[in-house]
Amino acid sequence: MSDMIIRNGELLTSEGTLERKDIRIKDGLIAEIGSELLNHGEKEWDANGQILSPGFVDLHVHLREPGGEKKETIETGTLAAAKGGFTTIAAMPNTRPVPDSPESMKQLMERIQEKAHVRVLPYAAITERQLGRDLTDFEALKREGAFAFTDDGVGVQTAGQMFEAMKKAAEIGKAVVAHCEDNSLIYGGAVHDGEFSRQSGIPGIPSICESVHIARDVLLAEAAGCHYHVCHISTKESVRVVRDAKKAGIMVTAEVTPHHLLLNEEDIPGDDAMFKMNPPLRSKEDQAALIEGLMDGTIDFIATDHAPHTAEEKAEGMRLAPFGIVGLETAFPLLYTNLVEKGECSLIQLIDWMTKKPAEAFNLPFGKMEIGMPADIVVLDLKKEARINPQEFLSKGKNTPFADWVCKGWPTATFFNGNPVWTEGRVNA
Ligand SMILES: [Zn+2]
């Protein structure tokens, strides 16, 4: 681990103003933040007036390994994360095998140790093989390093099972993280049950498919005394339920994806599976409610739901292709360009939603630029403008609806525990 000084960076103050500072990194930690720091023989990195942000935190990522290595691996997924400025990501358990036992969790931790380029926090499954039948051994999984519990990809179908899971999670101080989808309300849908569905004839998933699960779960979480986290919230009714639950003092948090903030069903160009994800792109009103929910704190933070698939799979069209799009390498530039530059939110709000807020929601000691914290730092060039080219992604997944969008605000270097894990163009470290 090399000691280093990063010079001439712009740091955001808590008031949202920028200050020119140097950062001294020692033993992988932030040792000093100040002006014109004296060199004690360290290597130097000149940030040239670019923004220095805490490394981004993404609590919803599909790394696909083990079992789905054609789509992504721990290696390629974490390289994509580093390129996108993320230094902490949480990996979803819908892999083969599923991390649903101490043995499979242990093996996953070993693979992560060996192959990951950034910090990976593995989720454990709520039910064995995510089949919704038997609950996993939460305590044993926690001992092996489970970050939290989720059956992401499918909803927990019965209230009774969710209640049992929440009571167990509460006992061991872990969160239940929910993909909210009631199987009896999917109707074989591939898109939102709205205007695009009616015009195209492609079956739609109604908003209640998500919102009824959230309404059920916040009451269960209240009764169980459990931290309940809503994945990829997508409907205006869901936002209302979470808002009311927070007002009632229920321990609920929620995340929203960049694509649900930036797109709605009217943006779907036709039978193009790059626009197929679960939950689907909803209506314009839903999109507006998500932005409002983020602004007023109902929605706590942003997570990408990075979901790589092969080109062949995504070529199958809306009805047959799998759900999901990639997001790690485009999240910040897309949100910076389309929210901050358009005046919808400030730079510090966006950075907080991608750093401090997810860390705080799960009591993680990351996402802040403070003395003694891991030196997880992303360097951002707010002026650099470039066109999104999926062929340049480090992720194996090239499945994005944002190809050819022109964005500003690109990461140019990412430091993880003080080491440059991704740099654009230069290495002077
Ligand atoms: Zn999900």
Dump pLDDT digits (tens) for 173-201.
999 999 999 999 999 999 999 999 999 99
pLDDT of 426 > 70? The answer is: no
For ligand 1, the distance from its centroid to the CA atom of residue 155, given in whole angstroms, is 8
Catalytic choice (22, 151, 152, 305) = 305
pLDDT of amino acid 428? 42
Q: Is 305 a catalytic residue?
A: yes
Distance from residue 232's CA to the centre of ligand 1 (Å)? 7
Whether pTM > 0.85 for this model: the answer is: yes
Measure 314 CA to ligand 1 centroid, in angstroms. 18
- Contact assessment for residue 55 and residue 86, using Cβ atoms and an 8 Å cutoff: yes
What is the pLDDT, as a whole number, of residue 1? 60
Is residue 429 scored above 60 in pLDDT?
no
Residue 39 neighbours by CB under 8 Å, 6+ apart: 5
Q: How confident is the model at residue 14 (pLDDT cuts 50, 70, 90)?
A: confident
Q: In whole angstroms, give the CA distance from residue 305 to residue 259.
A: 9
Cis peptide upstream of residue 97 (ω within 30 degrees of 0): yes
pLDDT-above-70 percentage for the chain: 99
**Separation between Cα atoms, residue 143 and residue 211, nearest integer Å:** 33
How much distance in Å is there from the Cα of 277 to the middle of ligand 1? Answer: 9
DSSP state of 232: S
Distance 154 CA to ligand 1 centre (A): 7
Residues 72-83 have pLDDT tens digits of: 999 999 999 999
pLDDT in tens, 372-383: 999 999 999 999
